[in-house]
Amino acid sequence: MKKFNLSLVTILAMGAFAVAGGDIEPVAEPIVEVVASDDSGFYIGGAYSSINTEVDMYGAYGDDDGPEDWRKENSEMDSSGFMLQAGYQFNKYIAVEGRYWKASSEASGTYSNGQDDQTGFTDSWSDECGDLTAWGIFVKPMYPVTDAFSIYGLLGYGNTNISDEWYADGVELLDESGFQWGIGASYAYDEHLSFFVDYVQLASDVEESYDWVANNQSDSDYDYVDWETSVYTINVGVSYKF
């Protein structure tokens, strides 16, 4: 019995000595490193663009003080083209982006006219109505709905030009610089490739006028015209982030 008690005391003493002496090290907790994702970087892209141009035109014979005859036309032109983009994304919430549009000269649409406040006739047409080019520089606020899907806005400044061969040679239907805006959504396929669709208002109710008599243009149906032009585009494309 004494031997058993002595052995138990010896084991307890050796255990206390080992802990006190530091021979047994405590188990260290594993260090987990959290790597923050980097959403910044340059990106480029391109898109197919469907472009709609709406024109409200007022044409008359005579002068502004007393026109002898007048006609109002409401035209809507649909054309297609492409859009190129390049930008820099600072984080998942904000980016800056530049865009350039080019539309084909082929366009089609409908128009109606009236005289003496009476409804006239409607018709359809298809013609080469001049080229459309546009550019814009945008601030692009973004909101990530999920890791892959996000919505965004476009707020910026740019220029829209339509060289309209339909009215007369050398007459520009639109050459406007000003505020542009848009909304859209994008889906990230992976860390580099994403698909997007958006709507961008390039010009809204821009007023223009032209006097054929003062400019010695004799091939017009009118002596002078006033018109308002609005242009918007719907873009479907892909972006690549470096």
d(CA 111, CA 115): 14
* Residue 180 pLDDT class (50, 70, 90 cuts): very high
| Residue 50 confidence (pLDDT) above 80 | yes
**62-97 pLDDT, tens per residue?**
555 555 555 667 777 888 899 999 999 999 999 999
In angstroms, the first-to-last Cα distance of the chain is 80
pLDDT in tens, 108-140: 666 666 554 455 556 666 666 668 899 999 999
- Per-residue confidence (pLDDT) for residue 83, from 0 to 100: 97
Domains and CATH numbers, the chain: 41-241 (2.40.160.20)
Is the pTM above the cut of 0.85? no
Residue 141 to residue 96: CA distance in whole angstroms: 9
Instruction: Say if residues 227 and 53 touch (Cβ distance below 8 Å).
Output: no
Query: Over pLDDT 90: what percentage of the chain?
Result: 41
Q: Which letter does DSSP use for residue 92 in this model?
A: S
Residue 25, SS3 per DSSP? coil
Mean pLDDT of the chain, nearest integer: 77
